[in-house]
Amino acid sequence: MNYNMKKQTQIVKVGLIAALAALNYAYAGPIEDAPSAFTPVTLETGYSSDKVWRGADLGANEANAIVKTTTELPADVSLALSADYANAETTGKDEATELSAIFSKSVADYLVSLSYTWYSQDYAGQEGQSQEAGLTVSRAVGPIDLSLTQYVGLVGDNNSYSELAATYSDDFGSSLMLDFRAELGYLAQEGQCTHFETTVSTDIPVVQGVTAVPFVSYSLGLDDSVGVHSDMKNLFFGGIEFKKTF
């Protein structure tokens, strides 16, 4: 089976899983979680036909698990913590770990966030660790949420990567809400755009508070001369994740 046929088979599998989830939703209807007195923790597990990070293709058949929680701090500051473990088929090691903390606060019409992220680099033939800090400014413009993030490398060189993102949701008069996301990556240090990526997804409640999130994405490589972006491709990929909040 060649690469294109394998990719088509993967996308068809994702579509079938999404169709089954939608059918279950049609019969069972939405599921409401009971209120909890504890800080909620969300567990996500998922599959993607490709491991794509900031537009760079790092491998195929990625499986990942993420644990997230958000808590409120004094002065109306929220703290979001997450731990992400992923495994994919790559040319080098196939495991990656990511830990992050994001502090956010609303200022007038803007949401300002400061983030810290620690990465393992056990993928694409790289080994070691890297760390970066980020500053994000977000604002709703009509029905579209816009955000601009500038990252600064603390350990390792990220070429001053920045990202402009836009999200939009609409049900188009149907019972299914579609979520759209577009992002443009830019290396400030090099003065070059890296990629433009779009994603369409939807949330489908299934059983016992579990939500299925099928998605399809297309990533357009704009530059292939720097670091992890030295082998940029135009990629169509898809997957599904399942999430539950406890």
- The predicted model scores a pTM of 0.82
Strand partners, 51: 59
Report which DSSP code applies to 199: E
Cβ-based neighbours of 157, under 8 Å, separated by 6 or more: 227
- Strands, E assignment, the chain: 41-53, 56-73, 77-89, 95-107, 110-120, 129-141, 144-155, 161-170, 178-187, 192-201, 204-205, 211-221, 235-245
Q: Are 33 and 209 spatial neighbours (Cβ–Cβ below 8 Å)?
A: yes
| pLDDT tens for each residue of 98-110 | 999 999 999 999 9
- Name the fold adopted by 3-245: Porin (2.40.160)
C-alpha distances (whole Å) from 191 to each of 139, 164, 233 are 25, 14, 19
| pLDDT tens for each residue of 35-67 | 445 689 999 999 999 999 898 888 899 999 999
Number of Cβ within 10 Å of residue 23's Cβ equals 11
| pLDDT tens for each residue of 140-175 | 999 999 999 999 999 988 889 999 999 999 999 999
d(CA 139, CA 110): 5
Indicate if the pLDDT at residue 212 is higher than 50: yes
Looking at the chain, the whole-number percentage of residues with pLDDT higher than 70 is 77
